[in-house]
Amino acid sequence: MSGGVDSAVVAALLKRRGYDVVGVTMQIWQESQRDPRHAGCCSLGAVEDARRCAQVLGIPHYVVNFKDAFKKTVIDEFVEEYARGRTPNPCVTCNKEVKFDALLKMAEELGCEKLATGHYARVRRRGERFALMRSYGGFKDQSYVLYMLSQPQLSKVWFPLGELGDKAVTRRLATEFLLPVADKPDSQEVCFVSEAGGYREFLRKARPDSFEPGEVVDTSGKRLATHAGVADFTVGQRKGLGVALGRPLYVVNVDPVSRQVTVGEDEDLLRREVPLTEIVWSGKPSSCAPVKVTAKIRYNMEARSATLYALPEPTLVFDEPVRAVTPGQTAVAYSGQTVVAGGKISR
């Protein structure tokens, strides 16, 4: 129970169905943040919201301290990736290292049969394997941030909201269950960032060396301006470049070694090939042959037709160029409604 409406509704649904439900909230960050934009699963306010929901439902509720695990995995990677000129996805790292690793192990120690969460996705058994699928209807789908789940993990998790696939339905259920978070807004920011200056200010405090000055150049190498640090930039960025040439320019590359940021036209952002690293095959390939898929390279992107190659290195090749392929971000491939594989964009 993260303190949000989704996980609270899951607990209510499972209790109504007659299951023995135990609510667990991870305390993973020390900030006490009351701003609803930041009151995600990290704030002390969120812990209190989860406790109040558990009281309404009449279920036991435990708060577990995962601060150290969260710091060593999610936050440290977040900081280091930006220092390398890459753009991380902390939610994916948290799911991989904390929610479905440390928390799942704790659930097993408590004797629980399943770990249920408020994610919008589905798991289906197919023979001896488990398939991760998009949520029903696809109005809201979070399979993109769950691609890394292993077969043992998929066998132990449950996503009841995947059958709804619609946040509006979830909120109506929360009202019916008299849950105090029925109208709580979704968190819109990185959950552990509470600084007024956003994630950049967070990074300045954590890694000041990633804000050493460098050059802004065009695609031919011509110097256009100076910048205050590579961590200020991500591929596809348009604003805050410090360059005024009378036409839109975008970040097309960030080099942390030379501290050089390259900007170009919109067409310079287009790529067909997307090389991947740390790939996880959810739908195990029967061979190393190329697989026809649909794929997305960011959460809110519409999946597009592509081919997934396993060799010589895992690579997605889109039928048509996609915009702003961003190192450090996640790419996920689907076959119909089923996740085939996913990984980090390497370059």
The set of catalytic residues is: 94, 191
Own/partner pairs, 242-249, CB within 8 angstroms, 24+ separation = 242/216, 243/216
How many Å apart are CA 115 and CA 223, to the nearest integer?
53
How many Å apart are CA 282 and CA 147, to the nearest integer?
7
**Residue ranges in the chain assigned as alpha helix (H):** 5-16, 44-57, 67-70, 76-83, 90-94, 103-109, 151-154, 167-176, 198-206
SS3 192: coil
* Contact by Cβ (8 Å): 23, 61: yes
How many Å apart are CA 85 and CA 286, to the nearest integer?
36
Q: Are strands 270-281 and 338-345 parallel, antiparallel or unpaired?
A: antiparallel
In DSSP terms, 55 is beta-bridged to: none
Residue 117 sits at φ, ψ, to 5 deg, of -130, 175
* Contact by Cβ (8 Å): 108, 101: no
DSSP label at residue 81: H
Q: Are strands 122-126 and 61-65 parallel, antiparallel or unpaired?
A: unpaired
Gyration radius of the chain over CA positions: 21
* Contact by Cβ (8 Å): 93, 73: yes
Tokens encoding 211: 């804000």
